[in-house]
Structure 1
Amino acid sequence: MDQPHLEEGEQQGEMSFVDHLEELRWHIIRALASILVFGVAAFLAKSFVFHDIILAPSRPDFFSYRVMCEVGQKLGTTGFCIEEMGFTIQSRQMSGQFAMHLMVSVVLGLACAFPYAFWEIWRFVKPGLYPQEQKNSQGAVFWVSILFLMGLMFGYYVVSPISINFLAGYQVDPSIVNEFDLSSYISTLTTLCLACAVMFELPVIVYFFTKAGLLSPETMKLYRRHSILVILIISAIVTPPDVISQMLIAIPLVGLYEVSISVSRSIRKNDLKKLNENNTI
């Protein structure tokens, strides 16, 4: 039988509540410091950040558009090639560009520092777990970071460019010119990217919920239709008001849900196997 962490902590040196708060404070400070460092770096690299990252999906030579064009040419059509975006980006407020510069720096700082920041928080949480729980959570930082970055890249290279292209070319009347405010463009881009990054964490969430006995593959199968409906609602909330963007987020999320069922099933199978082995002994 595993001993509670309190007894283990007493063997290593008992910490008071104030000591725990002090330790948590330093973990948070280091996590915030990493975000600040990356944020300052992004702020100083203004030209690269805005021209090559933020505004890149607003130009026809963006990587995703070039890939779409090449795929279309191989299929014998030029319909996927984008020659012009059909919109301009403006800043209509005096402090608009500076405010967006700060906002983008903070978002990029958070995205780049996420693996380290999560590791710092995990270092504080992990000692409070039972030995078996620590064993079950091995690789948590790695998988959380990988899925976050995969979601971020998916949002940036797939969802955002297609959504921007669709919204830029949409007109209710040819006499109306699309002139988007800088804040609107950046908000759309960052929302799509961060939403994808967070939603890609679904398998990790299912893993821990299954390990905690709060979720089972049978439950996930039973409520599959309800979950798909929730996914569609979430996709509609976090994306611009167009069906294409919603489907671009909803389809991979449904796929991740199916993967999560497999993850839950695998965990349940391993737990039952260990239980049977212990009963046999």
Structure 2
Amino acid sequence: MIEKELHIVDHLEELRKRIIISAVAFIVFLIVGFTFAIDIYKWFTKGIDMKLSVLGPSDILWVYFMLATVIAIAGTIPVIAMQIWLFVRPALRPKERKITLTYVPALFFLFIMGLAFGYFIIFPMIFSFLLHLGQDMFIAQFTAEKYFQFLMNVTLPFGVLFELPVVVMFLTSLGILNPYVLSSIRKYAYFVLAVIAVVITPPDFISDFIVTIPLFVLYEISISLSKVVFRKKLKRQQKEENERNVYEQGGAIK
């Protein structure tokens, strides 16, 4: 009983260490984001023909903080992924450690790809649609807070959703998920993804379709990759079991 409690305490201490490292990394990248906030601001606003306004001094700080937070999230993702891998590494076999380690950079690149998809494809489509919708009724004047809030609400979800394949592969490696479970809940997953697409896009069928299809494709890719990982895991377990049986039989003969 005492050994079990000590084991739990060790795990909690290790978890605390990983959380602290991730938090420190986030703060460091947040500072970096603040340092380059002006350059990031100019890059995000170069495509609009108007100068954004602020309604008060606090809005300026809010914009700096929002831009810095995006940089901090993007930079901290591989750090968090690495800390998660280090936390679960003792429970993994040597081959599993090598395989799952490759997921760390993949998470970062997929997050960036998701942001790029949201920013270069989805955001211009939604932004143009809304401007066209109100061009005969309103004079378009945007505050920096509203503009960047809208921008982040459109792009950040895609950064998260594009990581789905790697997350599924990692959970399959740990035995938490398998392709059969993912296939069995496909219709529910499609429904959730369709709702997400409808919520973040303009109220027209074309926009919903353009966003929904990539999300469905991501889910199917996740299932396919889960199958690959699951089959390799089964083969590895079967091979180890055969080797153990041969060893036990050899020992029995002796």
**TM-score interval (norm. to shorter):** 0.7 to 0.9
28, 31, 46: which is aligned to 2:37? Answer: 46
SS of equivalent to 2:52: strand
Q: Is structure 2 residue 157 aligned with structure 1 residue 199?
A: no
Match of 1:253 in 2: 215
The within-5 A match list for 1:225-240 is 225-237=187-199, 239-240=200-201
* Structure 2 CA distance for aligned equivalents of residues 29 and 152 of structure 1: 26
Match of 1:179 in 2: 141
Match of 1:117 in 2: 80
Change (3 A) 1:17 1:259: closer
* Structure 2 CA distance for aligned equivalents of residues 22 and 218 of structure 1: 35
2:39 is aligned with what amino acid? F
TM-score, normalization: structure 2?
Answer: 0.77
1:180 is aligned with what amino acid? F
Out of 145-154 and 207-216, give the one that drifted further. Answer: 207-216
Q: Alpha-carbon deviation of 1:195?
A: 0.6
| Contact kept in structure 1, 2:74 and 2:108, CA below 8 Å | no
Q: Alpha-carbon deviation of 1:186?
A: 0.6
Out of 180-189 and 219-228, give the one that drifted further. Answer: 219-228
* Structure 2 CA distance for aligned equivalents of residues 163 and 88 of structure 1: 19
Change (3 A) 1:261 1:47: same
SS of equivalent to 1:250: helix
Q: Alpha-carbon deviation of 1:241?
A: 4.0
The within-5 A match list for 1:261-280 is 261-274=223-236, 277=239, 278=241
Q: What is the CA deviation profile of residues 47-105 of structure 1, one whole-angstrom value per residue up to 9, with x for unaligned ones?
A: 212102x323x43xxxxxxxxxxxxxxxxxxxxxxxxx5x6633223421222212221
* Structure 2 CA distance for aligned equivalents of residues 97 and 203 of structure 1: 37
| Contact kept in structure 1, 2:30 and 2:69, CA below 8 Å | yes
* Structure 2 CA distance for aligned equivalents of residues 196 and 105 of structure 1: 19
Give structure 1 stretches of 5+ with no counterpart: 1-5, 8-14, 60-84
Q: Alpha-carbon deviation of 1:18?
A: 4.7
Match of 2:250 in 1: none
| Contact kept in structure 1, 2:100 and 2:173, CA below 8 Å | no
| Contact kept in structure 1, 2:129 and 2:202, CA below 8 Å | no
1:31 is aligned with what amino acid? S
Q: What number of residue pairs does the alignment pair up? A: 239
Match of 2:53 in 1: 90
Q: Percent identity?
A: 30
Q: Is structure 2 residue 45 aligned with structure 1 residue 55?
A: yes
Change (3 A) 1:134 1:34: same
Q: Alpha-carbon deviation of 1:276?
A: 5.6
Q: Alpha-carbon deviation of 1:148?
A: 1.7
TM-score, normalization: structure 1?
Answer: 0.71
Change (3 A) 1:233 1:101: same
Q: What is the CA deviation profile of residues 154-190 of structure 1, one whole-angstrom value per residue up to 9, with x for unaligned ones?
A: 222222232222223322x614212222222111211
